[in-house]
Amino acid sequence: MTAVVTSRARRRRSRGVAALVCGALAAGGLAAAGVSTLEPEAAHASSHREAPLISGQPQYDTTDVYAFVSPDRPDTTTIVANWTPFEEPTGGPNFFPFPDDAQYDVHIDNDGDAQGDLLYRWTFDTRTRNGDTFLYNTGPVTSLKDPDLNVTQTYDIDLLRLRDQRTVSTTKVADDLPVAPSHVGGASMPDYGKLRDQAVREVRGGGTAFAGQADDPFFLDLRVFDLLYGGDLSEVGRDTLAGYNVNSVALQVPSAAIRQSEKQPTVGVWSTTQRRNAAGKWTQVSRLGAPLVNEVVVPVKDKDKFNASAPWNDADFLPYVQKPELARLVEKFYKIKAPDEPREDLVSVFLTGVKGLNQPPHVRPAEALRLNTSVKPAAAPERLGVLDGDNAGYPNGRRLADDVLDISLQAVQGELVGNKNDLGDAVDANDRPFGRSFPYLALPTAGSRGPVADQDGRGARDALDGGAAPMRSTGSSDITGPVLIASAASGGAGVLLIALGIAWWRRARGSGAAPGGG
């Protein structure tokens, strides 16, 4: 027993000295560098980390799905699906590949029965040219075939035709197409737009495809989760997703190829992700159609169940749409009365489509984006879509620039049933402009130095001088600047603390005291 007590006492004494030494070094080091500690913000968005299980598997987590009649080619429909939320542009050296052990699927229901009739499936393959370097690229990359692009990916697209949820045929739509790489930075990829253009390819059946990194097109202030914007609407107006990228797949196909007929032009669209487990079997781990449903409609206890489910079974989640928690919370915090329940208006927004606009005949309620492919693109799109009289926008499909957060907040509080309101997060547009042609997505944020580098007014810094701030000239031979003074002062404080700690430890050791002991 005595030996055990002695051992514990020694460990406590060692920990006491270590704590003082580390504290001194940390205090001195941080002060010398003139920096403050920064913590990344926790964030959530439309299916960005929306369910407990998928939040730890970002490569398989669908962030958003978009489906719209192509503005520059109105006889076609464009579908965009994104994965891997919150890609920090400088997140090397592995950056953000598509996983090789996943099936990214986009389902299309063209008769409203909540069963997919068509399924487009993306699968990926990764190749590394040189495994003896840590670099993603070994020099400036000027083309997708550049040998300096060390890590490359290709993908296939298969079209599965289904009947009663069984595959009846499979067609190879795209084979071994190149993926646009992660945007490492200006030195590595001096013309990223050129790389993006090279990744846009024609595919069988008259379509066009793209896969690669893009700016996250979803825009909103995510502090809605801080008790609905701070409890007093004081936390609005900041695009929390600005500066983050996602991995995107985009496909533009003739509308006639996916709809049932000209008389029944409405399609339902949703995505799923399957991951291959250790036994080689595929398991569905993510699902997304309409934005914000799993995020703020489905409660925590059923979020993982929703991700593993199929639209055919969405009656299981119907009560959450008819009696939405969000409406009650808004009423509680902001005294904006919610409409009476059950909310059939929200059933049309999230599950069936709006009658006379994008609701198929004999529709079975199911969570999906419902797009009427016969509605022509708007000459002057409204960000609030149908709420502002623009029937080409959400909830008739979803365009990249549709402000789905404001639309959803206003609809949840009864805009469609006469309860007029102007709820919103004061973020009305994406931080980067969208393109005018396929794939329409904004280019990803680069890992290079951004405009924040000059915010302190002292110019850019570089690694050759340790990142130290440039000295201001004083006109004298004394070149000691504030950074060096701080370094000396903090260094001296650190040495003093260490010396005091050692002296205290020696006294404690000599007296036989055990710091922290009872």
pLDDT in tens, the chain (518 residues): 333 333 333 333 333 333 333 333 333 333 333 333 323 233 333 456 555 555 567 888 899 999 999 999 999 999 999 999 999 999 999 999 999 999 999 999 999 999 999 999 999 999 999 999 999 999 999 999 999 999 999 999 999 999 988 999 999 999 999 999 999 999 999 999 999 999 999 999 999 999 999 999 999 998 888 888 888 878 999 999 999 999 999 999 999 999 999 999 999 999 999 999 889 999 999 999 999 888 888 999 998 898 899 999 999 999 999 999 999 999 988 888 999 999 999 999 999 999 999 999 999 999 999 999 999 999 999 999 999 999 999 999 999 999 999 999 999 999 999 999 999 999 999 999 999 999 999 999 999 865 433 444 445 556 666 555 555 544 444 444 433 333 444 444 444 444 444 444 445 445 444 434 33
Q: Which residues contact 304 (CB under 8 A, 6 or more apart)?
A: 51, 52, 53, 54
pTM to 2 decimal places? 0.79
Contact in structure between 346 and 411 (CB atoms under 8 Å): yes
DSSP-assigned beta bridge partners for residue 149: 137
Q: How many residues does the chain have?
A: 518
| 326 torsion bin: left (phi>0), alpha (psi -120 to 50), beta (else) | alpha
Query: How far is Cα 198 from Cα 383, in angstroms, rounded to an integer?
Result: 31
Query: How far is Cα 242 from Cα 515, in angstroms, rounded to an integer?
Result: 49
Proportion of the chain in helix, strand, coil states, percent, rounded to 5: 30, 20, 45
Instruction: Find how far residue 308's CA is from the centre of its chain.
Output: 20
Strands (E), 255-372: 266-276, 282-288, 369-372
CA angle 164, 170, 174 (to 5 degrees): 135
Query: How far is Cα 104 from Cα 119, in angstroms, rounded to an integer?
Result: 10
Contact in structure between 381 and 364 (CB atoms under 8 Å): no
| Phi, psi angles (nearest 5°) of residue 490 | -70, -35
Query: How far is Cα 384 from Cα 410, in angstroms, rounded to an integer?
Result: 10
**Which candidate, 322, 319, 323, 283, places its Cα nearest to that of 304?**
283
